Amino acid sequence: MWRLYRLLVGLITCHPIAKLGGYMVTFGTISAISYTGAIIFARADSAYAGIIFLLLVPSSFFGGLALIPLGIYLAFRKAYLQEPSLRNKPLGEILRRLSGEEDVRNRIIVFILFTIANVVLTLVIVMAGFEYMDSASFCGLLCHKVMEPEYVVYQRSPHARVVCVDCHIGPGASWFVRSKISGLRQVYAVMAGTYSRPIPTPVEHLRPSRETCEQCHWPDKFEGDKLKIITHYDTDRNNTKRYTALLLKIGGPDAVGTRKGGIHWHVSKGNRVVFISEKDERKDIPWMRLERESELPVEYRFTGTDISNQEAATALKRTMECVDCHNRPTHVYRTSDEELDSMLSLWPELQNVPYLKKASGEVLARRFDETSIQRKEVGRALLTWYSDRPEEKADPALLEKAAEQVQEIYSRNVWPRMNITWGTYDNHIGHSTDTHTAAGLGCLRCHGNNHVTAEGKAVRADCRLCHIILALDEEKPPLFDFMVHKEK
Ligand code: HEC
Ligand code: HEC
Ligand code: HEC
Ligand code: HEC
Ligand code: HEC
């Protein structure tokens, strides 16, 4: 052991390149310690410092480790040129000669300390690196331009505090390795500029969400009905507020306790809905089969498709799971209508700006390019709408606020650089209605009265299957008079 150390220390100092390697390892060591210290003690974690850390420290540390043997080899070449017979000596003898074994006592002590430090450090670097690569700021900002839309909308979602990897990778080593491999390919695509704009959805080979979402959500716990009150505003002068109230049958026994089933029935124990979709896009569904415990499977076909039994048997199938409905649990792009309704709910005073819903809707429907968005021309377009109509006498302070909000709404939903605009990404929760168009067919992909069994029985689609409509676009629904505080 002792002899081995003496040998190694000698070797590290046998050639300038090997020495440089030694310095680099030392540099990597010191910066890793100071960076880790900064995170732990000063909580100074920034995406950019992280990227520098990730690029600089490992390359210095591991690059240094690689330079050491190179230096040794160069030293060997030099010695060999002077003394060709060296080549025939046993390897041990050659190394001993290169290391200049005699005067290494002091160096050994230093070297032992370094070795211990290096082992610890390798661990720290690897762990800090992985930890950092798992952070949302890394995923969202390293590929800054590419994933900025996903990151921005994510930050406003219910899952803003859930790190990307919890859904995109989940626990376990094999998915971790897979993700790092596909990550490398993505980094290449970003550097080469060959990535798709917009980033395609659905995500290919996303880990089954039963293994990710179910880390936190427990599907069998769904029970009862959920009251959901949705507010909409008209495009009239008063931006009239209207209420829709739904009793959503999210699952388990319903409120009255008469039946079990409901929306989460598709993912509860004993039920499987298996389906085929065009190009795995999960939009057009020509065939599906319901498999329930202790019941015969039931097959449904889309009316008008002539998919044969053989084709159905061999086609790629998918078992319905969380993301087949919740495809936007966190990257929530909204329609301009939804955004404006939510703006007016959040700032009720804006309802006093005449025709605000209509004017903003018209502005948001226009196309603005990257530079006009940056120059805040969206907001300005709204101000122009009103300056062209002085008779409306809109309050300037309120208008200013509205312009700011409309600008914000546009810039977080429309990304010209990535070819993302209103409706680029469908949301499968719900369905478009004639009054308020949600993006995409949602539940009606299967519940649209178009999927029938051989006997002609369709997947149920009656309005009371999924919700009970307690109020529909009513100004003053008598039903919840007591809930809605009186407005002037
Ligand atoms: C709550 C779970 C969840 C979290 C957290 C999450 N994602 Fe996603 N992500 C999804 C789902 C679900 C999809 C769509 C999957 C599908 O339809 O196949 C998706 C899709 C994407 C897509 C493809 C484009 C799209 O919008 O469909 C990108 C890129 C992406 N996520 C990046 C990120 C980044 C970066 C983060 C962290 C800042 C993140 N995700 C955090 C669940 C999540
Ligand atoms: C790390 C834990 C975690 C993971 C993983 C996770 N969620 Fe959540 N989810 C939460 C928490 C916490 C909330 C409650 C947030 C709140 O109420 O603000 C939530 C809320 C939700 C909601 C209700 C949203 C709303 O508007 O109130 C849905 C739907 C949901 N999650 C679906 C999913 C789906 C689908 C996945 C997998 C793609 C997933 N979640 C993965 C923690 C998680
Ligand atoms: C058939 C479509 C569908 C599937 C499959 C589905 N959900 Fe849902 N989920 C819904 C709908 C619809 C709602 C109600 C939406 C709302 O509140 O606006 C909902 C609501 C939720 C909520 C919020 C519940 C609450 O009390 O507010 C969570 C959490 C959730 N789902 C998680 C999951 C998870 C996890 C899975 C997979 C195991 C899953 N869902 C599968 C359609 C689905
Ligand atoms: C991939 C196809 C598919 C999609 C998408 C789908 N469903 Fe279903 N759903 C089915 C099938 C198949 C059945 C069983 C046939 C039937 O009940 O007529 C079913 C049954 C149901 C039931 C009755 C469960 C019970 O109590 O017996 C409800 C409620 C339901 N779905 C709600 C929804 C909602 C809400 C959505 C959208 C968020 C949705 N489904 C999307 C295929 C689908
Ligand atoms: C397969 C399940 C299903 C069926 C069938 C269904 N709905 Fe819905 N509906 C939903 C879900 C899920 C939502 C979304 C709730 C939410 O906002 O999260 C919704 C939302 C709505 C809304 C509110 C839209 C808004 O934003 O204001 C209305 C209105 C509505 N449905 C009407 C109907 C009518 C009318 C029918 C019958 C023709 C019907 N629905 C059939 C599942 C269904």
Q: What local confidence, expressed as pLDDT, does residue 434 receive?
A: 46
Q: What local confidence, expressed as pLDDT, does residue 339 receive?
A: 95
Range of the domain at 343: 336-418
- Ligand 4 atom showing the smallest separation from residue 459 Cα: 18
Q: Residue 436 above 50 pLDDT?
A: no
Separation of CA 315 and ligand 4 centre (Å): 22
Give the count of domains, the chain. 4
Q: Output the residue whose Cα is nearest ligand 1's atom 2.
A: 167
DSSP letter string, 198-229: SPPSSPTTPPPHHHHGGGT--GGG--EEEEEE
DSSP annotation of 351 reads G
Note whether 111 and 244 are same-domain residues.
Answer: no
pLDDT, tens digit, for every residue of 162-171?
A: 888 788 877 7
Q: What local confidence, expressed as pLDDT, does residue 176 receive?
A: 66
472 lines ligand 5 (CB under 6 A): yes
Note whether 56 and 127 are same-domain residues.
Answer: yes
Say what the pTM is: 0.82
The whole-number average pLDDT for the span 144-151 is 78
Separation of CA 159 and ligand 2 centre (Å): 6
- Ligand 5 atom showing the smallest separation from residue 473 Cα: 27
Q: What local confidence, expressed as pLDDT, does residue 115 receive?
A: 67
248 lines ligand 4 (CB under 6 A): no
483 lines ligand 2 (CB under 6 A): no
Mean pLDDT lowest among 56-65, 249-258, 285-294, 371-380: 249-258
Note whether 113 and 58 are same-domain residues.
Answer: yes
169 lines ligand 2 (CB under 6 A): no
pLDDT, tens digit, for every residue of 334-363?
A: 889 999 999 999 999 999 999 999 999 999
Q: Best of 325, 328, 468 to mutate for ligand 3, by most ligand atoms within 8 A of CB?
A: 325
Q: Are strands 241-251 and 467-474 parallel, antiparallel or unpaired?
A: antiparallel
Q: Output the residue whose Cα is nearest ligand 5's atom 39.
A: 463
Note whether 228 and 321 are same-domain residues.
Answer: yes
**Euclidean distance between CA atoms 358 and 346, whole angstroms:** 17
Domain's final residue, options 116, 133, 150? 133
Q: What local confidence, expressed as pLDDT, does residue 111 receive?
A: 66
Q: Tell me if 429 is assigned to some domain.
A: no
Q: What local confidence, expressed as pLDDT, does residue 287 receive?
A: 94
Q: Tell me if 205 is assigned to some domain.
A: no
Nearby residues of 23 by Cβ (< 8 Å), 6 or more positions away:
64
Nearest ligand, measured from the Cα of 428:
4
Q: Tell me if 107 is assigned to some domain.
A: yes
pLDDT, tens digit, for every residue of 212-242?
A: 898 888 777 777 789 999 999 999 999 999 9
Q: Tell me if 317 is assigned to some domain.
A: yes
Residue 155 pLDDT level (bands cut at 50, 70, 90) = confident
242 lines ligand 5 (CB under 6 A): no
The whole-number average pLDDT for the span 440-459 is 90
Note whether 128 and 230 are same-domain residues.
Answer: no
Q: Residue 25 above 90 pLDDT?
A: no
Separation of CA 103 and ligand 2 centre (Å): 64
Note whether 243 and 324 are same-domain residues.
Answer: yes
Separation of CA 266 and ligand 4 centre (Å): 6
Comparing C-alpha atoms, which of 441, 469, 438 is closest to residue 248? 469
Q: What local confidence, expressed as pLDDT, does residue 8 receive?
A: 72
Q: Tell me if 281 is assigned to some domain.
A: yes
Note whether 310 and 449 are same-domain residues.
Answer: yes
Note whether 299 and 242 are same-domain residues.
Answer: yes
